[in-house]
Chain A
Amino acid sequence: MAVWLLKRFFPDKTGLYTQLGDIDEAFNTIAKRKGNFAAQAWYWIMAIRSIPYSILRILAWSSTMMRNYLKIALRNMRKYKTGSFINVAGLSLGLAFCVLIYLFISDELSFDRFHEKADSIYSIVINDHFYEYSHRHGPVPLAPVLKDHFPEIESFARLVREINVPVKYNDNIFNERICMADPEFLEIFSFRPKKGNPGSALHSDSSVVLTQNTANKYFGNEDPIGKVLLFTFGEKQKPFVVDGIMENVPSNSSINFSILINIDNLNFIYSSNSIDDWRGRSAQSYLLLKKQADPAHIENRMLGIVKPYRSAFYETRRNYGSLVKSGETITYSLQNLKDIHLNSSNIAGLPRSDIRRSYILGAIALLILLIAVINFINMSIGRASLRAREVSVRKMLGAGRKQLVHQFWIESVCTALISIVLGLCIAVLMLPIFNTLSIKNLTVYSLFHLNSIVVFLLLIVAVGILAGSFPALVMANFNLTDVLRGKFKLRRKNLFTKILIILQFSISIFLLVASIIMSRQIRFLKNYDLGFDKEGILIVDLQERHNTRSQELFKLFKESLQSHTAVKSVSGCMSSPNRTDVYGMIDNQGKKIYVYENRVHYDYLKTMKINLIEGRDFSSAFSSDISSVIVNQKLVDVLGLEQPIGKTIKIGPEPPLTIIGVVKNFHYSSLKEEVKPAALNMDPTLGLFYAVVRISAANIGETITDLKERWEEIQSVRPFEYSFLDDDIQLFYTDENRWNAIVGYSSFFTILIACMGVFGLTLITVNNRVKEIGIRKILGASLLSILKLVTSEFVILVLIANIIVWPLAWAVMNKWLQNFAFRVDFGIWPLLIPGIITALIALLTSCGYSLKAAIANPADSLRYE
């Protein structure tokens, strides 16, 4: 080893290593005198001592060369402005994408890592084997029971959410989503306190902890500590004193809260002992395990511990029917906090993401970068003839292959360096668009994080070396004498360049095809006949979940709207697309059929414009309608009923209902799913959650203000909260819309960069063939034939790329369409159009410059020899 080091650092030109011989002799003398070990130690010390100086020497020499390389690189950049511009522009766009997507991915990966104890925090996952899904909302008493039985559990925190709680301070009322938590919540998780004493505040059941943003919302610039907020829970009200302010929850946290109160308030809001209720599916439970604890050990024994408690509770409430049935199939598992964000594809309950998203985005960014790098390579190879002389002179003066390669690396790293500076600027400018597309809250600051800087530097070096290697190898192989004798001729664009161009266009065409098919599918979904008229419908959230009170509130609201001219019809319902879904189960001779259940009010069919096929709508003329049901065609088909009207069906444990009407199928869920069997019933003793208002299309803004006024007249605690039904339905496809935009943007940029490459190459080809073109003109070639000469090559390459991409794009997009139950039949056009577009663009870009050459007077181009 040491011998190798010395050899490496003391190159002996004679190759005889006489110096090493001397050292060996000294080694042997020392060995004889002081023993082998001392000799070896000496040898090593010598070897190691030699390192710093050697490195210094290498640096000193190479920096001299480096200066020269840099100078040449900059001169070249200045000399070939267009080419350098194309390189830098392409690379900086590609790098900008990479930067943004790096930010995205690092944000994804940073989720929940900021908690100091993240490694030992586990979330309890509830696996319901009856309804076959997993979620995080377990019974409230679960965590305390586990803590009593497992000494490995250091502490636990439960989080119960209560939505639609009107909170009032002076004239400010907002509808809030509050969290009830154990006092340990703030100790287990590392959310940062800001003001007051949030830690101790949670111990009292009349204190509230707010985040900074929430505090600002209510109190503006006033000091929030000690202020009193009035909470309304149903018909109860309770004042809370603000005792602590937390920093806003970081955007990379899975757990989110804005208002925290003590969990004992559950007993105040609901019945007195709801905190011991095993039925509820409301508490997210988190366990903090001791350092050496084995989660698998707890996981395996959890069910056994919990079962007796659970059964004892159910024993007292046998009448809960299906809830007990499902409750008894439940098993529990643990999931580490850090896995929640990316590893919960089948666990409901917290916002989650998919690691595939990061992969796809990363792949897109790298593809764009690849296209830019290909431009760089092609341009360098194309320009090789111009630089052949320089390279040859260098070679003649003794530059080795290695040194030439180094030179080109340095040139490309230089370009990459300039590009990343520009790329960062572009990234900063595009950050707002990117944030909306990726629903992230990325800031410019994360760009200057140490990690990011290291990644960017690595990126520069990688891009530089990748882009510099091919041209370097081409040039290093020049035949010296040929070039200097002026015999050198660049072979026409070689196969390698052609393959690279095909690759570039394949990528661009693929993305273009993908974005066209995506937007077609989205338009198809938008225009699909859902079985009801989604335009002009306003969904007003009644924010009252209590059965009779909500019915009363609805009636008041409906009456107040009766006189309004713009309101065409009003009804109410319990579930509405993308808001709440309730499913019941019909037991059809042992086969479970899940039925979408909706509790509605009179005029629902009329308001929604759902068409009756047979039978009648609910009507106040029939008092028996409380036990009637209207079903959709699908349910009739599934049950195989021939004469549905008058038949009875039994949904879940409820009493049987008589079918009075059959309606056309309607799609209340996303069109990714098949239409579901549905049943509408009407029970005035049970709750309505939303008012459905059909308004006329004119003066919508004014109508909404009127509705708001009327809403405020009939009650004073709840703010007016509404949405348009078609917006709610569009929300099903947010993800698709977002992906469509992302793919659209990237296809635009890939085509842009690829075309810049084509332009650059035309420039070079034309310049190389100026004389040829001149001679052709003299011999009578027409303008068109000259254009054809230069451009046909590119067009052919683009067409080849098309043919390669079609089957691939077709297969991939069909796979994507499999996500949807209702698919657009995209036919051949989405494949043809991008082909034609790209071919045309390539043609036009290359025509632009060749036209100039073709028009030029041949006398000019031929004169100078």
Chain B
Amino acid sequence: MKLLSRTEELLLNSILRLEENAYAFMIREKLKEITGKTWAFGAIFISLDRLEKKRYVESFLGNETPERGGRRKRFYKVTSYGLKTLAEIRKIDQAMWKDLPVYLLEKE
């Protein structure tokens, strides 16, 4: 099993959350919501490409809409392989945090 990078994890997470409406612009908004930071488009595009290449997500084209200057949307959907990986990550995450005493984090 491969470990995902944090960015990839966040992206997959937000694509999942967005369900049917996962395209770059909305993903960016969602990421802002989760992390509280504004992400650069470049970072999102490149990571999305990479995720697609590694087959965690797949993409399909949507319809043209006027507010996008007549350009089409590219929607993303997490593949079953992606879902499986995410689930594993979640398990690891939980395992990782479960027993960690809170005072260790507050020490400094």
Give residues in A with beta carbon < 8 Å to B.
10, 14, 16-26, 28-29, 46, 50, 53
Question: A16 with B25: in contact, given A23-B41, A50-B42 (CB under 8 Å)?
Answer: no
Question: A25 with B67: in contact, given A18-B61, A18-B72, A19-B24 (CB under 8 Å)?
Answer: yes
Q: Are B41 and A16 in contact (CB under 8 A)?
A: no
Question: A19 with B45: in contact, given A25-B25, A26-B25 (CB under 8 Å)?
Answer: yes
Give the nearest-CB partner of A3 in chain B. B69
B28 proximal to A (CB < 8 A): yes
Q: Are B41 and A18 in contact (CB under 8 A)?
A: no
Give chain A nearest CB distance to B57 CB in angstroms. 14
Q: How far is the CA of A14 from the CA of B61 in the complex (A)?
A: 11
Q: How far is the CA of A46 from the CA of B45 in the complex (A)?
A: 14
For A16, A18, A28, the residue with the greatest tally of chain B CB atoms inside 10 Å of its CB is: A18
Q: Are B41 and A21 in contact (CB under 8 A)?
A: no
Q: Produce 1/0 per residue, B15-39, CB < 8 A to A.
A: 0000000011100100000000000
Give the nearest-CB partner of A27 in chain B. B69
Of the candidates A10, A14, A22, A50, which one forms a contact with B68 in the assembled complex, judged by CB atoms under 8 Å apart? A22
Give the nearest-CB partner of B41 in chain A. A23
Give chain B nearest CB distance to A742 CB in angstroms. 61
Q: Which of B24-76 touch A at CB < 8 Å?
A: 24-25, 28, 40-42, 45, 61, 67-69, 71-74
Interface of A is mostly: helix
Give the nearest-CB partner of A42 in chain B. B38
Q: How many A-B residue pairs have CB under 8 A?
A: 48
Q: How far is the CA of A14 from the CA of B74 in the complex (A)?
A: 11
Q: Are B71 and A20 in contact (CB under 8 A)?
A: yes
Q: Are A24 and B68 in contact (CB under 8 A)?
A: yes
Q: How far is the CA of A50 from the CA of B42 in the complex (A)?
A: 8
Q: Are A24 and B72 in contact (CB under 8 A)?
A: no
Give the nearest-CB partner of B49 in chain A. A19
Q: Report the count of interface residues on B (CB-CB < 8 A).
A: 16
Q: Are A46 and B25 in contact (CB under 8 A)?
A: no
Of the candidates B40, B42, B71, which one forms a contact with A21 in the assembled complex, judged by CB atoms under 8 Å apart? B71
Question: A19 with B41: in contact, given A24-B68, A26-B25 (CB under 8 Å)?
Answer: yes
For A10, A14, A22, A28, the residue with the greatest tally of chain B CB atoms inside 10 Å of its CB is: A22
Question: A18 with B73: in contact, given A24-B67, A24-B68, A28-B67 (CB under 8 Å)?
Answer: yes
Q: How far is the CA of A579 from the CA of B23 in the complex (A)?
A: 93
Residues on A with beta carbons closer than 8 Å to the beta carbon of B61: 14, 16, 18
Give chain A nearest CB distance to B56 CB in angstroms. 19
Q: How far is the CA of A10 from the CA of B72 in the complex (A)?
A: 16
Q: List 17 A-B contacts (CB under 8 A).
A: A10-B45, A14-B61, A16-B72, A17-B71, A18-B61, A18-B72, A18-B74, A19-B41, A20-B69, A21-B68, A22-B28, A22-B68, A24-B67, A24-B71, A25-B25, A25-B67, A28-B67
Give chain A nearest CB distance to B18 CB in angstroms. 13
Q: Are A26 and B28 in contact (CB under 8 A)?
A: yes
Q: How far is the CA of A26 from the CA of B41 in the complex (A)?
A: 10
Give residues in B with beta carbon < 8 Å to A.
23-25, 28, 40-42, 45, 61, 67-69, 71-74
Give the nearest-CB partner of A18 in chain B. B74
Question: A21 with B73: in contact, given A16-B61, A28-B67 (CB under 8 Å)?
Answer: yes
Give the nearest-CB partner of A24 in chain B. B69
Q: Are B41 and A22 in contact (CB under 8 A)?
A: yes
Q: How far is the CA of A21 from the CA of B71 in the complex (A)?
A: 5
Residues on B with beta carbons closer than 8 Å to the beta carbon of A22: 23-25, 28, 41, 68, 73
Q: How far is the CA of A16 from the CA of B63 in the complex (A)?
A: 12
Give chain A nearest CB distance to B51 CB in angstroms. 15
Give chain A nearest CB distance to B44 CB in angstroms. 8
Q: How far is the CA of A53 from the CA of B71 in the complex (A)?
A: 25
Q: How far is the CA of A21 from the CA of B45 in the complex (A)?
A: 12
Rank and list the top 5 A-B pairs by shortest CB-CB distance, nearest first. Answer: A21-B71, A22-B24, A21-B68, A18-B74, A24-B69
Give chain B nearest CB distance to A829 CB in angstroms. 76
Residues on B with beta carbons closer than 8 Å to the beta carbon of A23: 41
Q: Are B41 and A46 in contact (CB under 8 A)?
A: yes
Give chain B nearest CB distance to A56 CB in angstroms. 13
For B61, B67, B68, B74, the residue with the greatest tally of chain A CB atoms inside 10 Å of its CB is: B68
Give chain B nearest CB distance to A1 CB in angstroms. 15
Q: How far is the CA of A214 from the CA of B67 in the complex (A)?
A: 84
Give the nearest-CB partner of A16 in chain B. B72
Give chain A nearest CB distance to B24 CB in angstroms. 4
Give the nearest-CB partner of B23 in chain A. A22
Residues on B with beta carbons closer than 8 Å to the beta carbon of A20: 69, 71
Give chain A nearest CB distance to B43 CB in angstroms. 12
Q: How far is the CA of A486 from the CA of B40 in the complex (A)?
A: 54
Residues on A with beta carbons closer than 8 Å to the beta carbon of B41: 19, 22-23, 26, 46
Give the nearest-CB partner of A19 in chain B. B45
Residues on B with beta carbons closer than 8 Å to the beta carbon of A17: 71
Give the nearest-CB partner of A32 in chain B. B67
Residues on A with beta carbons closer than 8 Å to the beta carbon of B71: 16-18, 20-21, 24
Q: Are B68 and A25 in contact (CB under 8 A)?
A: yes
Residues on A with beta carbons closer than 8 Å to the beta carbon of B69: 20-21, 24
Give chain A nearest CB distance to B49 CB in angstroms. 10
Give the nearest-CB partner of A25 in chain B. B25
Q: How far is the CA of A44 from the CA of B69 in the complex (A)?
A: 17
Q: How far is the CA of A664 from the CA of B106 in the complex (A)?
A: 122
